[in-house]
């Protein structure tokens, strides 16, 4: 039986309380029309849709909201159960002050600051974000964010080709780590195929670390792209030697998990020319689809080819500090046929939430956050690896946030068991990225995982293992 809201005076269905509903004839008359069809007279009859759309009957606003809430209540939120799912998006604690400030009207409704004289507050906030990112990654210049880490990586590589192709011995060629997530590789291919850029793999050994001997083949290319930590959570010391191997005329592009920089050296310290990454761990939780924001910073040699928006610090006529969009021309954003980049905007509001989070943390808070993430990861490894039937994929590796384990059965079976029987999100099935890793599970632990969560996961995996004996 269909449920409908009823009024206070009886059993008749309640009509929608929006004031203008039911006044269609009055509104049509004001426009000099007699029917709804008159609104569409400019559309040729042969292209009009005659038959009705295959949709449910109309609902009142109250009915729509009731149904929407019912559907939303069926979802399982990340915060409602222990979650060991990472694989690119990470759940770190975000102080309540961040969403409180970000939802203020002056931030929430801010327009693109093309008119700096009326946008100084927003421009300064964007400039502060750039400063924080530059200090975080150890490079002098940053933009005001990208769409996400994948577009940032692709833009960095095409930017490097524009800068280095003239002197490169391997023309229009880039090398990309074979251990980056396939969805990121797909974005890179989408960017490079139209530009006729050749993409070659940068191999890794069985230990998950970069093969430095094979990396010598990238010398003379326009760019190499690696991630630190990589997609399996491994911190790779060999990346620190990569710049000296590929040479000064090849751009070293490094993708980072920004929280890790509270503990490990920034890429700028070991020769990175461009640093990109997913800013999401700062400011927002896992969003299951977005919006998120990407980081992009570079050395001075790349600044005029940097994509997106850049805020500069200047001086006004009174000698006071002033902020304005700089270097990136208006054509970059509007006249797309003149643009050197596929990025015409940025994730300003989400990026500012990241800036607020970083400002609240400060240097010491960032270090503490990184330590808490590393500690949670180490504790989870210590609890899972002694289980009979669980094997570390990289037993000698140093991990941050996440690590891969090998199971005697498909990881998908374990995840279903943990979901249905233990109310736990157990991790990421690596066969979704690489089909040959069917029995491998990527387990992530952040500062939001406590000892009780780890114990429940270990017990759940133990029960699953015993069920197959």
Q: Are 181 and 88 in contact (CB under 8 A)?
A: yes
Least confident of 49-53, 240-244, 422-426: 49-53
What is the pLDDT at residue 224? 98
The helix/strand/coil state of 237 is helix
Query: What pLDDT, on the 0 to 100 scale, is given for residue 330?
Result: 56
Question: How high is the pLDDT of residue 375?
Answer: 97
Confidence of residue 333 (pLDDT cuts 50, 70, 90): low
- Nearest partner of 153 among 266, 262, 282, 251, judged by Cα: 251
pLDDT at 329: 56
Q: 67-81, 86-100, 244-258, 383-397: which range is least confident on average?
A: 67-81
pLDDT on residue 54: 92
State the pLDDT confidence band at 313, using cuts at 50, 70 and 90.
very high
Residue 16: the pLDDT is: 61
Count Cβ atoms below 10 Å from residue 208 Cβ, excluding itself: 21
DSSP 262: G
**If DSSP codes are grouped into helix, strand and coil, which group holds residue 336?**
helix
| Least confidently predicted of 60-74, 174-188, 328-342 | 328-342
- Tell me the range of 42-46, 72-76, 238-242 where mean pLDDT is highest: 238-242
Cα 283 to Cα 376: distance, rounded to the nearest angstrom:
20
Q: Looking at the predicted structure, is the pLDDT value of residue 412 above 50? A: yes
- Is it the case that residue 29 has pLDDT exceeding 50? yes
Residue 143 pLDDT: 94
**223: pLDDT strictly greater than 90:** yes
Please determine, for residue 40, whether its predicted confidence score (pLDDT) is greater than 80: yes
For residues 309 and 325, what is the distance between their CA atoms, to the nearest angstrom? 7
- pLDDT of residue 334 exceeding 80: no
The CATH code of the domain at 97-358 is 3.40.640.10
pLDDT in tens, 163-185: 999 999 999 999 999 999 999 99
Q: Which of 266, 276, 268, 252 is nearest to 164 (CA)?
A: 252
Task: Please report the pLDDT score of residue 268 as a whole number.
Answer: 97
pLDDT above 90 for 243: yes
Task: Give the whole-angstrom CA distance, residue 262 versus residue 265.
Answer: 8
The residue that leads in pLDDT, 343 or 386, is: 386
What is the pLDDT at residue 208?
Answer: 95
Q: pTM for the whole thing? A: 0.87
Q: What is the predicted pLDDT for the residue at 1?
A: 47
| pLDDT (0 to 100) of residue 246 | 96
Gap between the Cα atoms of 282 and 358, Å rounded:
7
Determine the average pLDDT of the residues in 176-204: 95
| Res 76 pLDDT > 90 | no
Range ranked top by mean pLDDT from 29-43, 276-290, 377-391, 455-469: 377-391
pLDDT at 346: 80
DSSP 11: S
The stretch 129-145 carries a mean pLDDT of 96
Domain boundaries defined on the chain: 24-67, 78-92+368-467, 97-358
Q: What's the whole-number average pLDDT of the chain?
A: 91
Among the CATH numbers 3.90.1150.10, 3.30.930.10, 3.30.420.130, 3.40.1010.10, which is that of 78-92+368-467?
A: 3.90.1150.10
Stretch 28-44: mean pLDDT = 91
Is 419 within 8 Å of 464 (Cβ atoms)?
Answer: no
pLDDT at residue 415 in the model? 97
State the pLDDT confidence band at 6, using cuts at 50, 70 and 90.
low
Q: Which two tokens stand for residue 105?
A: 């009207």
Per-residue pLDDT at 5: 53
Q: Which helix (H) or strand (E) holds 323?
A: strand 321-325
**pLDDT over 70, % of the chain:** 93
Model confidence at 153: pLDDT above 60: yes
Mean pLDDT on 263-290: 92
Of residues 14 and 442, which shows the higher confidence score? 442
């Amino acid at each position: 039986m269909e449920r409908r809201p009823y009024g206070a005076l009886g059993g008749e269905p309640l009509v929608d309380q929006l004031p203008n509903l039911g006044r269609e004839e009055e509104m049509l008359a004001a426009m000099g029309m007699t029917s709804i069809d008159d609104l569409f007279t400019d559309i040729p009859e042969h292209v009009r849709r005659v038959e009705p759309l295959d949709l449910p009957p109309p609902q009142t606003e109250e009915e729509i909201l009731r149904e929407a809430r019912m559907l939303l209540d069926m979802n399982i939120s990340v915060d409602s159960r222990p979650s060991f799912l990472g694989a690119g998006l990470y759940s770190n604690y975000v102080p309540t002050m961040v969403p409180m400030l970000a939802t203020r009207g002056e931030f929430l409704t801010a327009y693109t600051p093309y008119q700096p004289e009326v946008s100084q507050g927003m421009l300064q906030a964007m400039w502060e974000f750039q400063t924080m990112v530059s200090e975080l990654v150890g490079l002098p210049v940053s933009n005001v964010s990208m769409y996400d880490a994948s577009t940032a990586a692709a833009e960095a590589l095409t930017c490097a080709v524009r800068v280095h192709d003239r002197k490169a011995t391997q023309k229009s060629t880039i090398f990309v780590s074979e251990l980056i997530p396939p969805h990121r590789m797909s974005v890179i291919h989408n960017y490079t195929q139209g530009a006729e850029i050749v993409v070659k793999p940068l191999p890794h050994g069985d230990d998950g670390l970069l093969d430095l001997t094979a990396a010598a083949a990238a010398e003379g290319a326009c760019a190499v792209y690696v991630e630190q930590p990589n997609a399996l959570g491994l911190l790779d010391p060999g990346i620190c030697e990569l710049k000296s191997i590929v040479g000064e005329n090849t751009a070293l592009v490094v993708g980072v998990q920004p929280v890790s920089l509270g503990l490990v050296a920034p890429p700028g310290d070991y020769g990175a020319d461009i640093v990109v990454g997913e800013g999401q761990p700062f400011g927002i939780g896992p969003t299951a689809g977005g919006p998120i924001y990407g980081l992009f910073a570079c050395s001075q040699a790349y600044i005029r080819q940097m994509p997106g928006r850049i805020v500069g610090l200047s001086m006004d006529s009174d000698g006071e500090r002033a902020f304005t969009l700089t270097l990136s021309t208006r054509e970059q954003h509007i006249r797309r046929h003149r643009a050197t980049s596929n990025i015409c905007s940025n994730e300003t509001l989400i990026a500012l939430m990241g800036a607020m989070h970083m400002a609240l943390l400060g240097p010491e808070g960032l270090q503490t956050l990184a330590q808490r993430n590393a500690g949670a990861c180490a504790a989870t490894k210590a609890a899972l690896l002694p289980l009979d039937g669980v094997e570390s994929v990289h037993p000698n590796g140093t991990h941050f946030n996440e690590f891969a384990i090998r199971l005697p059965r498909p990881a998908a079976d374990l995840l279903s068991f943990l979901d249905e029987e233990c109310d736990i999100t157990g991790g990421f099935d690596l066969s979704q990225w690489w089909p040959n890793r069917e029995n491998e599970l990527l387990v992530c632990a952040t500062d939001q995982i406590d000892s009780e969560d780890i114990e429940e996961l270990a017990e759940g995996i133990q029960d699953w293992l015993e069920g197959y004996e």
